[in-house]
Structures are given as structure tokens and as C-alpha cells.
Amino acid sequence: MLEIKNLSVSYGMIEAVKNVNITINDNEICSLIGANGAGKTTIMHTISGLLSPTSGEILLDGENLLKMSSEEIVKRGIIQVPEGRRIFQKMSVNENILLGAYQRKNIEDEEYDYIYSLFPILKERSKQLAGTLSGGEQQMLAMARALVGKPKIMLLDEPSMGLAPLLVKNIFDIIKTINEKGTTIFLVEQNANMALAIASHAYVMETGKIALEGTGKELAESEKVQKLYLGG
Ligand SMILES: Nc1ncnc2c1ncn2[C@@H]1O[C@H](COP(=O)(O)OP(=O)(O)OP(=O)(O)O)[C@@H](O)[C@H]1O
Ligand SMILES: [Mg+2]
């Protein structure tokens, strides 16, 4: 279980995250939705150890992550797929995947089988330069690279960004499968519709604060969410 308690994060004078509480239970899909600039990515980066909070705690099964380097956090199984994918453009698809396993010597055949079962296109494209992949393929590559790190908790920052509707559905189906195989998912999304549909538990963030919390279904049915995020 990952617990974010009374978390506040600032950039200089700007307080981007204000006293936020979020609990991510083992084996669930927990979604965080909110408009541009709400503070979603800031929370993800703080979990990953890339930003330090001004106050609050982040506990993984009771252990404080805030004292750890981002490398130690990765070793504990918390792996982020960053917004905008951040793949290495000039390296091949396979080289990018290998980078996700940098803490080990090699990737087992079964792991390749698992990744290619989720993302068959990456097998076809394994020798192609990553920068020449389509946006959707780059998202798949970023997820594949995270998966070879054997995440206990996968942090996904706007995986559907810039993708055509059909591909969005495909990516969300894959996220569900990854979760069913035993990986906890923390999903940050602007696509509230899809993010709430697959979430067991979700949060709505507004200007740095948690405005609403509930099951995915409760939030999808909430009048406020429908009006502000679902165009209802
Ligand atoms: N490096 C930075 N320096 C100063 N302010 C920042 C920095 N990064 C983010 N912010 C500000 O913090 C706030 C939260 O940003 P954040 O990236 O967490 O939002 P977000 O919810 O992920 O938005 P989006 O949906 O657009 O990705 C915004 O007002 C943003 O301008
Ligand atoms: Mg963001």
C-alpha cells in the first residue's frame, strides 16, 4: 500500500500541491484526474523522488520514501512512465526496452513474451529507431520499458495523451491487463471518462487540492464530475 499523507509541494513561491492525501491499495487501479496545472504530475514526481515536498509523508507499506533517492524508490518497485513518454529517440526499440532492465544483466525470454503479448507491434519494430515510432507506439514502448523493471506499482502519467480514440481504448485495455497480472496502477489522466471507468478508486484534483474522492463509479456518476470533466 502506498500512502500519501498531507503532502504539499512548492516550486519556489508557487504551492502546486496543497495538503493532499491519497491511498493506493495493493493490486488496484487508482486514478487521479484533473485539469491542466492541477498538480498531478507534481504528485507523481514527488512519489518517484524527483521532487522534494515542503511537508507531508509518502509511505510504501509503512516505509518512508521521502528519505530515499529515486534509484532506491525504483528498486522498491515504484516505476514511472512519464508524461510525454521520454523514450530515447536515437536508440532502437529493443535498446530502449533493455534500458528498463538496467539494474539487471538481461531480460528473460518469458519477460519478452509477456511484453510482446501486450505490445505485438514492438516485436515487429524491435530494430527500428524509437524516434520513428508513432505516438501510440512510443507510449507502448515507454510502458514496455517500465514493465521490464518489474514494477510493483506502475505510475502512468497521461498515457492517452495525443492518441486517437481507438488507440486510447487499446492502451486502457492493456493497462487493465497489466493490473490483472498483479501490478498496482496509479493512473494520472485528463481523459476522465476512461480513467474512471477502469479505476476501483479515484481522486479529482483542482488547483493543488483533492476536491473529490470515491470509487470510479461514484465519481463517474457525480454531478460535478459530469459537468466539469465528462462534458455532461
Ligand atoms: N518546474 C516548475 N516550476 C514552476 N512551476 C511549476 C513547475 N512545474 C510545474 N509548475 C506549476 O505547478 C502547477 C502544477 O503543475 P503539474 O505539472 O503538476 O500539473 P498537471 O496536473 O500535471 O497538469 P497537466 O495536466 O497539464 O500535465 C502548475 O501551475 C505549473 O505551472
Ligand atoms: Mg501533468
User: What ranges do the domains of the chain cover?
Assistant: 2-77+151-229, 90-150
Ligand minimally distant from the alpha carbon of residue 206: 1
Ligand 1 centroid, distance to 120 Cα (angstroms): 34
Cα separation, 214 vs 220, whole angstroms: 9
- Domain 2-77+151-229: CATH architecture, name and number where available: 3-Layer(aba) Sandwich (3.40)
Tell me if 190 CB under 6 Å of ligand 1.
yes
What's the gap in Å between 42 CA and the centre of ligand 1? 6
Q: Which of 55, 79, 68, 41 is nearest to 4 (CA)?
A: 55
pLDDT per residue as tens digits for the range 149-202: 999 999 999 999 989 888 999 999 999 999 999 999 999 998 999 999 999 999
- By alpha-carbon position, which residue is closest to atom 27 of ligand 1? 36
Ligand nearest, relative to CA of residue 13: 1
Q: Is the C-beta atom of 41 inside 6 A of ligand 1?
A: yes
Arithmetic mean of pLDDT, 82-89 = 87
Residue whose CA is at the smallest distance from ligand 1 atom 2:
11
- 104-129: per-residue pLDDT in tens? 778 888 999 999 999 999 999 999 99
Strands 29-34 and 184-189: parallel
Instruction: Confirm or reject: Cβ of 10 under 6 Å from ligand 1.
Output: no
Residue 214's alpha-carbon distances to 45, 114, 133, in angstroms, are: 23, 32, 37
By alpha-carbon position, which residue is closest to atom 9 of ligand 1?
Answer: 42
Contact yes or no for 159/175 (Cβ under 8 A): yes
- pLDDT value at 232 more than 70: no
- Per-residue pLDDT reduced to its tens digit, 26-70: 999 999 999 999 999 999 999 999 999 999 999 999 999 999 999
128 Cβ below 6 A of ligand 1:
no
